[in-house]
């Protein structure tokens, strides 16, 4: 039983914002969920550090490019602690030892198979996208994502025979051998295939693109992103490293179970990447999950507008699990969503402070005051209707997580919290606690299971709650603990 999940590797041209945080947190939930199921998990993330965009960002600051991407990579790495992320490896495309060898191995295999060839080409190149565009991609002559006119580039490059793989990819997607979530994205990819696939450029002239991995046996060319960045999913688990440990790790975890990416790079992962893997006869990714974008107060995040939100600043101000909760609950997992500090505070006070925080405080206060020690059999065997509700909640959470509807999984958990609130209000154990041990034990059971269910989403809070319901032999020892979500 293994589970291999990857995020996109982020361009190292700027510090992370809450859009980057959303993807990493979503992936972290899935990784933690599968670890809780006793599966062997590998969670990979990292930074894409080559390319014109990163080079120009460094030049604009008059910095050495390697020093510049080193700094940005550290900014992204800092999210691990700030957001309590549990990735197993952070891959960097400038890492010669762990990445470059695999890229060279892949390039040579593709070329040996006849799927890489060289020819002259002229096209419209968007630096922001790090991609060539066609006229039909443009809106009023500009890239629709970056609102800039593309540059006209003419040079001799290496190309990959993507056109040869359209029908095979289509079959895999139609049969859900490559499962694309949500289904609407699947139809987008099938439409692109039906429109015909063209071969793609996989190198740039070294003169125009000096910052990158050189093409093997041709120092006039630099390997382009498709054969530089996408193979991180291979190199991150050992591909290209000639030692026993790396080979065993690669064979243990490949293929990918989930590629978790933004909707803007779906076609690269659902078309180009499978074709590359088909060429070298490696198993294909099992699924590709796509999330949307985050706006801020209804506007696209922009340095010009000044509305870019730092996830680290939010976590320091409001707490890590509060940030995780907002992004997971407010933003539908596969759709666009909006951030505002006002909505953040509303969810915090209404659902964290008044919801989970209040229920936790009520239960632990009642139990620690009246029955600080309760037999495990009394807590682990609640009344039948309570146990049915707990099991129904668990089943619903499993279903929603496996459908990549993390926001709906949280709704199911908060429904159990409301159920607990109703139970405690009806039972009124504070009125006659010496005769309400059964009811208090039931409440501790509900809270213990809530803590278990939230552990992939809010791991710190889960640990805090469970630390106040400690099992010692055949007894649970219950303490009041701290206020986990004070109102703001």
Among candidates 401, 402, 403, 404, which has minimal Cα distance to 454?
A: 401
H runs (alpha helix) in 336-472? 341-347, 358-370, 376-380, 384-402, 406-427, 437-454, 459-467
20 is catalytic: yes
Options 24, 99, 143, 259, the catalytic residue: 143
Options 24, 129, 400, 436, the catalytic residue: 129
Pairing mode, strands 373-375 and 299-300: unpaired
Options 40, 148, 187, 300, the catalytic residue: 300
CA-to-CA distance for 110 and 161, rounded, in angstroms? 10
400 is catalytic: no
445 is catalytic: no
CA-to-CA distance for 201 and 212, rounded, in angstroms? 15
Options 62, 136, 244, 303, the catalytic residue: 303
Options 24, 53, 105, 126, the catalytic residue: 126
DSSP 87-110: -SEEEETT-IIIIIHHHHHHHHHH
Options 146, 251, 317, 428, the catalytic residue: 146
Burial tier of 38 (Cβ tally within 10 Å: 0-12, 13-18, 19+): exposed
50 is catalytic: no
Pairing mode, strands 10-11 and 40-48: parallel
146 is catalytic: yes
143 is catalytic: yes
Instruction: Pull the structure tokens for residue 139.
Output: 């809106």
Give the residue numbers annotated as catalytic, written as ranges.
17, 20, 126, 129, 143, 146, 300, 303
């Amino acid at each position: 039983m293994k589970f291999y999940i990857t995020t996109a590797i982020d361009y190292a041209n700027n510090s992370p914002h809450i859009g980057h945080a959303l993807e990493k947190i979503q992936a972290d939930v899935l990784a933690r969920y599968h670890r809780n199921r006793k599966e062997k998990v590998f969670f990979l993330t990292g930074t894409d550090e080559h390319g014109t965009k990163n080079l120009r960002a460094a030049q604009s600051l008059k910095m050495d490019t390697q020093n510049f991407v080193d700094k940005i990579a550290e900014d992204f790495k800092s999210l691990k602690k700030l957001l309590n992320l549990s990735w197993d490896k952070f891959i960097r495309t400038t890492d010669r030892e762990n990445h470059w060898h695999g890229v060279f191995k892949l390039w040579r295999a593709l070329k040996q198979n006849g799927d890489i060839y060289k020819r002259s080409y002229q096209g419209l190149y968007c630096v922001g996208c790090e991609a060539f565009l066609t006229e039909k991609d443009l809106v009023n002559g500009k890239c629709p994502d970056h609102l800039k006119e593309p540059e006209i580039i003419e040079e001799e490059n290496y190309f990959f025979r993507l056109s040869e793989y359209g029908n095979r990819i289509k079959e895999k997607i139609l049969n859900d051998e490559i499962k694309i979530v949500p289904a609407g994205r699947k139809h987008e990819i099938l439409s692109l295939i039906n429109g015909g696939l063209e071969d793609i450029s996989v190198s740039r002239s070294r003169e125009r693109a000096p910052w990158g991995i050189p093409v093997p046996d041709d120092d006039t060319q630099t390997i382009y992103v498709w054969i530089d960045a996408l193979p991180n999913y291979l190199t991150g688990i050992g591909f290209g490293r000639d030692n026993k440990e790396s080979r065993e790790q690669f064979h243990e975890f490949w293929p990918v179970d989930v590629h978790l990416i933004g909707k803007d790079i779906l076609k690269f992962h659902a078309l180009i990447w499978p074709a590359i893997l088909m060429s070298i006869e490696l198993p294909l990714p099992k699924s590709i999950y796509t999330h949307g974008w985050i706006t801020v107060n209804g506007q696209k995040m922009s340095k010009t507008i000044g509305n870019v939100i730092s996830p680290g600043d939010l976590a320091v101000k409001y707490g890590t699990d509060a940030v995780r909760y907002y992004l997971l609950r407010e933003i539908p997992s596969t759709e666009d969503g909006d951030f505002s500090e006002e909505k953040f505070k509303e969810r915090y006070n209404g659902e964290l402070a008044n919801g989970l925080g209040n229920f936790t405080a009520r239960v632990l206060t009642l139990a620690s005051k009246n029955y600080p020690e309760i037999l495990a059999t009394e807590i682990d065997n609640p009344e039948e209707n309570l146990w049915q509700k707990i099991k129904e909640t668990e089943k619903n959470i499993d279903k929603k997580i496996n459908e990549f509807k993390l926001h709906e999984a949280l709704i199911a958990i908060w429904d159990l919290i409301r159920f607990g609130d109703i139970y405690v209000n009806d039972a009124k154990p504070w009125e006659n606690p010496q005769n309400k041990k059964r009811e208090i034990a039931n409440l501790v059971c509900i809270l213990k299971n809530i803590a278990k269910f939230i552990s992939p989403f809010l791991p710190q809070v889960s640990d805090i709650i469970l630390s106040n319901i400690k099992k010692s032999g055949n007894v649970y020892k219950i303490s009041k603990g701290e206020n986990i979500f004070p109102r703001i």
